[in-house]
């Protein structure tokens, strides 16, 4: 299933995209895409519905973040060896975990803003994991049972703040609009081999990133299991899993976002995001 939330910011309704790419309204069946509705049993109940029995919704509606009630927005750094190399960083021996502020979450086609004082805002196309059930100390073999599905994420980053403001990555990852997520949550049963998904990103119409999740240093099952050793993951928690090479910081000279720029990014079965950049030099 491809599950979405549509409507104005703060007033989104749950929905799904049917096999004919028609937007259907789920709000008569569930209150939102959160909590128990993301569990195996909850998704099975949604899956059992006949999509044609659900009201059609206007396809011009804005799409919001596809999951509600997110309590943790976690991210993994340097999870592709070529990306580590392009930024002059060592390849980690264990997953490098940091937080993005919940307030950075953004709809998949919403504008991305350059914050006051920012000079090095960069792009990062990534696969994001959405947790479906509480996970604590789960084994790698059972980890995928706790995953509701996957989404496309742009881990927007301010490199100067990330690297040179005390070494605390959260500072460079958490500005408002720095966490575009979606357009949809695609359930795990429809994603196929999660370690064989292509990812791409275009900046102003030029291809910058081309990669595959097969090149992850730490795969999805490993990440969920590993993180669950340190915290209890909750339904709706998001883990964005790192970016392939091709970021602006890796270019010579580095190239960063400015007002008026356009980004387009996508992935196999993950859909596409298209956003314009506001602020900065524009």
Give me the residues paired with residue 142 across strands. none
Q: Positive or negative CA dihedral for 55, 38, 75, 243?
A: negative
Q: How far apart are CA 106 and CA 97, in angstroms?
A: 21
Structure tokens of 234? 């909750």
Going from the C-alpha of 185 to that of each of 15, 123, 233, the distances in angstroms are: 11, 21, 18
Half-sphere exposure of residue 92: CA atoms within 13 angstroms, side-chain side = 14
pLDDT at 282: 39
Q: How far apart are CA 101 and CA 155, in angstroms?
A: 11
Region of residue 279 (phi > 0: left; psi between -120 and 50: alpha; otherwise: beta)? left
For 224-279, what is each residue's pLDDT tens digit?
A: 999 999 999 999 999 999 999 999 999 999 999 999 999 999 999 999 999 999 99
- Write out the DSSP string of 220-253: HHHHHHHHHTTS-B-TT-EEE----S--GGGSSS
Contact 172, 161 (CB under 8 A): yes
Per-residue pLDDT of the chain (282 residues; tens, 9 = 90+): 999 999 999 999 999 999 999 999 999 999 999 999 999 999 999 999 999 999 999 999 999 999 999 999 999 999 998 887 888 888 899 999 999 999 999 999 999 999 999 999 999 999 999 999 999 999 999 999 999 999 999 999 999 999 988 878 999 999 999 999 999 999 999 999 999 999 999 999 999 999 999 999 999 999 999 999 999 999 999 999 999 999 999 999 999 999 999 999 999 999 999 999 999 753
Average model confidence (pLDDT) across the chain? 96
The residues near 217 (Cβ < 8 Å, ≥ 6 apart) are 78, 79, 80, 81, 91, 92, 242
Calculate the CA dihedral of residues 219, 173, 38, 244 and round it to 10 degrees: -30
Q: How far apart are CA 110 and CA 91, in angstroms?
A: 33
pLDDT at 84: 79
* Domains with residue ranges and CATH for the chain: 2-53 (no CATH), 73-278 (3.90.850.10)
Closest CA to 216 of 103, 89, 81, 37: 81
In the chain, which ranges are E strands? 2-6, 13-17, 23-25, 73-77, 96-99, 105-106, 112-113, 121-122, 125-131, 147-154, 157-158, 179-180, 185-187, 198-203, 206-212, 238-240, 262-267, 271-278
- Pairing of β 73-77 and β 271-278: unpaired
């Amino acid at each position: 299933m491809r599950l979405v939330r549509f409507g104005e910011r703060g007033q989104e309704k749950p929905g799904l995209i049917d096999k004919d790419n028609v937007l259907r309204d789920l709000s008569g069946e569930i209150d939102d895409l959160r909590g128990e509705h993301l569990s195996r049993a909850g998704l099975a109940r949604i899956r059992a519905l006949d999509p044609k029995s659900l009201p059609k919704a206007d396809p011009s509606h804005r799409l919001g973040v596809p999951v509600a009630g997110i309590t943790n927005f976690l991210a993994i750094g340097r999870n592709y060896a070529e990306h580590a190399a392009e930024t002059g960083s060592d390849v980690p021996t264990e997953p490098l975990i940091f937080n993005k502020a919940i307030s950075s979450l953004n709809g998949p086609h919403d504008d991305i803003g350059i914050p006051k004082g920012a000079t090095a805002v960069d792009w990062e196309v990534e696969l994001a994991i959405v947790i479906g059930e509480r996970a604590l100390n789960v084994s790698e073999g059972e980890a995928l049972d706790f995953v509701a599905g996957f989404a496309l994420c742009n881990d927007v980053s301010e490199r100067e703040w990330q690297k040179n403001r005390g070494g605390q990555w959260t500072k460079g990852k958490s500005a408002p609009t720095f966490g575009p997520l979606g357009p949809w949550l695609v359930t795990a049963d429809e994603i196929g081999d999660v370690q064989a998904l292509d990812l791409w990103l275009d900046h102003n119409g030029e291809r910058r990133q081309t990669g595959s999740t097969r090149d992850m240093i730490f795969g999805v099952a490993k990440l969920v299991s590993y993180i669950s050793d340190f915290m209890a993951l909750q339904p709706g928690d998001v883990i964005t899993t790192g970016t392939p090479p091709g970021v602006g910081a890796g270019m010579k000279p580095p190239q960063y976002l400015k007002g008026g720029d356009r980004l387009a990014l996508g992935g196999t079965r993950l859909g596409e995001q298209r956003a314009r950049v506001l602020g900065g030099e524009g």
